[in-house]
Amino acid sequence: MLSMDSKLEAAVGAKSAKALAGAFDLHTVGDLVRYFPRRYAERGELTDIAGLEIGEHATVMARVQSFNERRMRQRSGWISEVVITDGSRTLECTFFNQRHHKRALTPGTNALFAGKVSRYRNKLQLTNPDYQLLSEETEGDAAGTADTADVVEKFTGLIPVYPAAASIQSWQIAKCVRQALSMLDEIEDPMPADLRHRRGFDNYDEAIRKIHTASDWAGVQVARERLKWDEAMAVQLALAQRRHGAISRPAPECKRRDDGLRAAFDKRLPFTLTAGQQEVGEMIAADLEVAHPMNRLLQGEVGSGKTIVALRAMLQVVDAGRQAALLAPTEVLAAQHARSLANMLGDLAMAGELGAADEATRLTLLTGSLPAAQRKQALLDAASGAAGIVVGTHALIQDTVQFADLGFVVVDEQHRFGVEQRDALRTRAGENTSPHVLVMTATPIPRTVAMTVYGDLETSSLRELPAGRSPISTAVVPAAEKPTWLDRAWQRIREEVAAGHQAYVVCPRIGDQESAEDVTTDDDGRRPPLSVVEVAEMLAEGPLKGLRLALLHGRLPADDKDAVMRAFAAGEIDVLVATTVVEVGVDVPNSTAMVIMDADRFGVSQLHQLRGRVGRGKAPGVCLLVTETLGGTATRERLDAVASTLDGFELARVDLEMRREGDILGATQSGTRSALKLLSLLRDEELIAEARVEAQELVSRSPDLAEFPGLAAMVASLVSGTKAEYLEKA
C-alpha cells in the first residue's frame, strides 16, 4: 500500500508520472488524489460548446454531426473535417492525413473530444484532437488511446472531467487516479473528531475517494462539502494565526484634534461630504486612534470621493506628529495626486514657505525620474519629517527612502501593486511598529474581494454615484465578424471631435523598440496585440487623418508625459493614443469618447477603469470595445458583461464568477493556479464565515495549533514555503 507522500511513479508508472509532473507539477500520490475533477459529464448530457475559450485545452462530450473528407489543394494528402455538436452549437475537428478516423467517428456517435481550441475562418476548431468513444459496442478508439478504452466504461453514471493538457488527456488522468486510489492506504483525517461529528462530515479518506469515483451527484456533493470545509478552515486558521501574531507589532495611536490640520481643512471645504464619506471617514478615524494596525480596503466608483476620505485621514495622522505616504501605480497618477492634494490643501501644504498657514505641513512628490536635486530634497523631506505627506510611485519602497515616523500608508489602485511591494513600504515605519494601511480601488478585482471575505481586510464602500457625472454608453465592436463596425467607430471619433470634444484610443502594447519576445504570436495563432505606435501611425494616415493626435505611454520621459497630459487637458490634442497609463487618475472633462483596441487583452477591472476616463463632464460619454474574439466564447461574454453595466461592484462579481478568486495565498491574480481547488467566494460565503468562527476559537485555545497536529499539518500543507511568507506580508 502507498501513502500520500509516496512518489507518483510507484502508483502510475514512470511515463504517466513524468507527464503529470510536467503538465501539472504533480509529484506524489497526495498531489494526484488532490487534483480534483473540474466538472462531471453525465452520460447522455452533452457539453456546452458556447463556453469554450480560444487557446484553452478543452475536453467536451459531444455527438458527431457529420464527417467529410477532401484532398488538400497545395500538397498531397487528405483533410478530414468532423463537425460535432452539443445540440445547439457546433465545433469543427480537423484531422490531417488520418483517414482511419472515418470508421469510428460516424454521425450519431458520442465521444469525449480533447484538444486546444483555436479559430479558423471565424469558427471554433480543434486540430487533430484526441477522443474517447462512449459507444458501448466500441472497443478502444482510433486516436491511439486504446490502452485507456476501459476507463470511461468504469464510471457507471458520472464521468469526471479533469483539467488536461496536450501531453495527457482527462480520461488518462482518470485512469491514473483510479490506480493510485486502489493502492492508497487509508488517509489520516486532519480534522478533530468532535468537530467532524458536530458538522456531520464524512471522514477525509471517504471524501477524497468519493470526489473521484462517486456514481451520483449526491456522492459528489457530500465529498465537495467536506473538502471545501477543509480548504476554508486551512485559510481561516492561517489568517487567525496571523491576526493573533499582529498584536505584538502595534501601530501608532493617531488621536483626532479639534485645532489641527484636519479641522482647518474641514472648515475650508467648499462642499458638504456625502453621507457615505462621513460614515467611512468616522470608521477610519476610529481605526487610526488605536494601537492595532488598521488594514482596510476602501472601494468606490470613479469619482465617488475616495481621495478626499484618504486625505482627511492623512491629516489626522499628521496632526498626531506622524507622516503619511500615498503610493500610486504610475508617475502620471502620482504627479496628478500631488497636484490635486496641493490644490485642495492650498496654504495648508506650504510649511516653510511664505504665506503658509500656521498649521501647515509640507507635501512632497517622490518618483524615480525626478531630477537629482529635486530627488535629493524629497528624500531629505521624508527622512527629516519635514514632509508630513509624501506622494510617490514604487520609488517610495526602495531601501534608500527613509521616513522619520511613518504612521499611515495609502495605496491607490492596490491591484497594480504586488504584496511584496506594499510590505516593503510598511517596513519603512521601523522594526517594532507597523503603520496603518488603507488600500483603495474603484473596481475590486477577484483576489481583492476574496481576501476581504476570507478575513484579511476590513472593507468599506462608497456606493453613491458621482455627482454631476454624465452617462457612458458602452458597445462591443466585433471587428472580425463585422469590419464595417470598426469604420463606424472611427467615424464616431471624428463626430465627437467635430462637436468640440476629445477622445482616447487605448492599445495593449507600446510598440516600436519592444523586444521580439514581447510581440510574438500567441500559441493559439492570434496575432500580436496592437501597439500605440502602429495604431497611431495607421490612424494619422487613415481614418483620423487631419486630426491632432499624440502618443502617451510608460516609456516616455516623465517631462514628456507631463507635457502631453497638460496639452491634452488644455484641448490642444484631439485624440490621445495611449497605453493603460491613462487607466487611473487622468481627469479631462472634455473627453467624451474612447476606443479600446484588442479589448479582450484587458481585464474587467482595467476596462471599467479605462471607461471611467470619459463622460466626466457635462456631455455623455461613449466607450467602444474593439475585439476580434468570436461570439459565444467566454471572452466575448466578459466584454458583453462590461458593456451591460456601469456598476463596478457588479463587474467585480462578474469577474469573480469568470476567473475565480485567484491564489489568495500566493502572487497569482487569476484563478487558474489557485491553491484552493473547490472553495468559491460567491457560493461559499456562509461556509467561510462559519470556518472563520471555528478557526478563531481553535487559535485562541492553541495559537500554534500544537493541540491539533492534524490541523497544523493541513495549514502547513496549504500555506507552505513562499505562501507562508506571502500570507504574513499580505
pLDDT single digits (tens) 485-526: 999 999 999 999 999 999 999 999 887 654 444 444 555 556
Q: Which domains does the chain have, with CATH numbers?
A: 9-185 (2.40.50.140), 186-249+670-730 (no CATH), 261-288+305-441 (3.40.50.300), 472-659 (3.40.50.300)
pLDDT score of 396: 83
pLDDT in tens, 336-355: 889 889 999 999 999 988 88
Instruction: Tell me the C-alpha distance between 402 and 391, whole Å.
Output: 13
| pLDDT value, residue 476 | 96
**Alpha-carbon distance 150 to 163, whole Å?**
20
pLDDT reported for residue 409: 92
55, 117 Cβ separation under 8 angstroms:
yes
- Residues 465, 500, 576, CA angle at the centre, nearest 5°? 75
Sign of CA dihedral 70, 73, 76, 77: negative
CA distance 363 to 391: 8
Residue 499's pLDDT is 95
For residue 66, the tally of other CB atoms under 10 A from its CB is 14
pLDDT at site 671: 42
* Residue 447 parent element (H or E): helix 446-453
Q: From edge to edge, which strands make up the β-sheet containing 406-412?
A: 362-366, 387-392, 323-327, 406-412, 436-441, 295-300, 458-462
Residue 421 phi/psi, 5-degree rounding, is -65, -45
Q: What is the distance between the alpha carbons of residues 212 and 161, in angstroms, rounded to a whole number?
A: 10
Q: Considering only CA atoms, which of 220, 219, 113 is closest in space to residue 170?
A: 113
The three cell numbers of residue 208 are: 477524497
- Cα(208)–Cα(187) distance, integer angstroms: 9
Q: Closest by alpha carbon to 298, among 393, 156, 120, 437? A: 437
> Which residues does residue 127 pair with via DSSP β-bridges, in sequence order?
94
Residue 141 pLDDT? 42
Phi, psi (5° rounding) for residue 684?
-120, 30
For position 156, what pLDDT does the model report? 55
- Could you tell me which of 154, 124, 19 has the C-alpha nearest to residue 62? 124
Which three cell numbers mark 484? Answer: 464595417
Global pTM value: 0.70
- Residue 517: the pLDDT is 42
> Grid coordinates in use for 570?
488644455
Which segments of the chain have a pLDDT < 50?
A: 136-149, 514-520, 667-673, 721-722, 728, 730
